[in-house]
Copies of this chain bind each other. A is one copy, B any other.
Amino acid sequence: MFNVKVFITLRESVIDPQGTVAKDSLHKLNYSEVSNVRIGKYVELTIENTERNIDEIVNEMCEKLLVNLNVEDYRYEIEEVVAQ
């Protein structure tokens, strides 16, 4: 079994309205130290043992469904969980 963590962020060139609003709100709450906020998606996948290559299927799932490749970048971490 595999626990996969996918981190999906807007490309740097893409304006992040959510992040901008969050930054302004944090400034209003007196956290003026905050100079930038980027808000993205965090996906946790549990994948049962499979014959298929785990990196391949994670990339396919990201590119087919989880990530909007026009405006988003992604990276992921795979942790294999060995049955006790």
Which residues of chain B come closer than 8 Å to A35, judged between CB atoms?
Answer: 1, 46-48
Interface size on A, residues (CB 8 A): 34
Query: What is the bound-complex CA distance between A36 and B65, given in angstroms?
Result: 15
Q: Is A20 an interface residue (CB 8 A)?
A: no
CB distance from A54 to the nearest CB of B (A): 9
Q: Is A15 an interface residue (CB 8 A)?
A: no
CB distance from A6 to the nearest CB of B (A): 9
Query: What is the bound-complex CA distance between A66 and B34, given in angstroms?
Result: 13
Checking B7, B29, B33, B48 against A42 with a beta-carbon cut-off of 8 angstroms, the contacting residue is: B7
CB distance from A23 to the nearest CB of B (A): 9
Contact B39 A42 (CB under 8 A): yes
